[in-house]
Amino acid sequence: MKPNIPIYITAACQISIQEPLCDKWMSEPRLGLSGYNEAIDPVFKEWMSPGEARRLGKIMKRAVVTSAECMKASGITMPDAIITATGLGCVKNTELFLTDLCTQGESLLKPTQFMQSTHNTISSLIAILNKCHGYNVTYAQGDMSADVALLDAVTQLSLGDIKTALVGAHDEMTPNYYTLLNRSGYYGHESMVSSGEVAVSFMLSSNADREALCLIDDIAVFYKPATESLRAYLTTISNVDCILAGYNGKPENDMLYDNIISLRDNPDTPVLQYKNLFGESMTASALGLYAAVRIISTGNFHNSMYRSGSVPANINSVLIINASGNDISLMKLSKVSL
């Protein structure tokens, strides 16, 4: 959908397998990562008490940090909505509870593991810490989780139901779950990028903001789209300076992107990738959005992201493509010109 009013991204913060809470990935990224990799965590005690740091799982701590930094950077301390995406939820606690259940049976199980295993624990925690009574929802839509969360936020901003939304995307990966996802074929292809862990927060706002990082001009999420309707939609967003796509080195995945890009009426648009730096995970597309926001607001990106075509000196608009199985999402960002 094309929002009927300008919708801004006013802050974006990340913790990932790259250096956290900074843009070092643009100049000196960690390169050549493969297999299983955990996120690089900041020093959590700068954001929370030692008790909290002990009590909360990593996925929760990371969410606390990126949310807090995002609220600080945007100056919005009480967003109208908190919308969270997570593909797999709190994997670590789920795994602990499940392991106990499967090995020691249905007794002596731990309530805290169960309490911190539910997907919406993350979004609720951010609301509890900030006493935020506004709209609060979590989406778990596989590789489209972040895209659906952003679609909800943009829809509500566009309808005027809210003015600001804190949108987060959070996934953690454990060695055991990585093994499982190798068996299922999600990970494990020899030419594939690293696994990833994701903690990204964005502040979206419909208040006019000269300082904003970029505008969201379009967002659409499709399930099994007919080729012709996808082609028609792509025509409405063909005028962009570059494409940022979720190539991950797995042939059947990369083919999806090649096919979508081939439907565009402007086949020479340069193409960049981001999963070579940030890894693959169900909410990796949120790191794609993060990278696109930074590329537009700073004009920089790392050479390793370059995939095809020649990139213009000024990148004023980016089309972000996320594709997986039957699902495709398209998002167009542009530079703020007030």
Partner 1 sequence: MHEDPIVITGYGILSALGNDHDTTLSALTNGISGIGAIRHLATSHTEFPVGEVKMTNEEMESALSLPADSVTTRTALMGMIALDRAVSMAHLTRESGSQNGIAFISGTTVGGMDRSEQHYLDFLAGEDFKQYISTHDCGACSEMIASRHDILNFVATPSTACSSAANAIILGARMLLSGQSDIVVAGGSECITKFHLNGFNTLMILDREQCRPFDRDRAGLNLGEGAAYLVMERQSHAAKRGVTPIVELAGWGNACDAFHQTASSDDGEGAYLAMKQAVERACINPANVGYINAHGTGTPNNDISETHAMQRLFGDNVPPVSSTKSSTGHTTSASGAIESVITIMAITNNFLPANIGFHTPIDGGMSPVSTPKLNTRVDYALCNSFGFGGNDSSLLFKRIKFQ
Binders in 175-204 for partner 1, by CB under 8 A? 176, 179-181, 183-186
Binding to partner 1 in span 139-158, by CB under 8 A: 139-145, 148, 151-152, 155-156, 158
Both tokens assigned to 142: 């596989």
Binding to partner 1 in span 284-313, by CB under 8 A: none
**Residue 134 interacts with partner 1 (CB under 8 A): yes or no:** yes
Q: Residue 75's CB: how many other CB atoms inside 10 A? A: 12
Tokens 């100056």 identify what position? 75
CA distances from 173 to 59, 99, 111, 186 (A): 9, 16, 22, 13
CB of 315 to partner 1, least distance (A): 28
- Between 58-74 and 91-104, two packed helices, what is the crossing angle to 10 degrees? 160
Residue 123 three-state SS: helix
Residues binding partner 1: number (CB under 8 A):
72
Both tokens assigned to 225: 């789209």
Binding to partner 1 in span 88-117, by CB under 8 A: 88-89, 97-99, 101-103, 105-106, 109-111, 114-117
Q: Which is nearer to partner 1, 236 or 266 (CB)?
A: 236
**Residue 222 interacts with partner 1 (CB under 8 A): yes or no:** yes
**Residue 27 interacts with partner 1 (CB under 8 A): yes or no:** no
**Residue 67 interacts with partner 1 (CB under 8 A): yes or no:** no
- Report residue 16: phi and psi, to 5°: -155, -165
Q: Which of 125, 216, 271, 287 binds partner 1 (CB under 8 A)?
A: 125
Closest by CA to 220, choosing from 331, 141, 84, 322, is 331
CA distances from 136 to 162, 165, 271 (A): 12, 10, 35
Q: Which of 223, 235, 236, 266 binds partner 1 (CB under 8 A)?
A: 223
CB of 61 to partner 1, least distance (A): 15
Span interacting with partner 1, options 13-21, 68-76, 286-294, 322-330, rule CB under 8 A: 322-330
**Residue 221 interacts with partner 1 (CB under 8 A): yes or no:** yes
Write each residue from 159 to 178 as x if it is in contact with partner 1 (CB under 8 A), else as -, in one continuous string.
x-x--------------x--
Rg (CA), the chain: 19
The C-alpha atoms of residue 172 and residue 274 are separated, in whole angstroms, by: 18
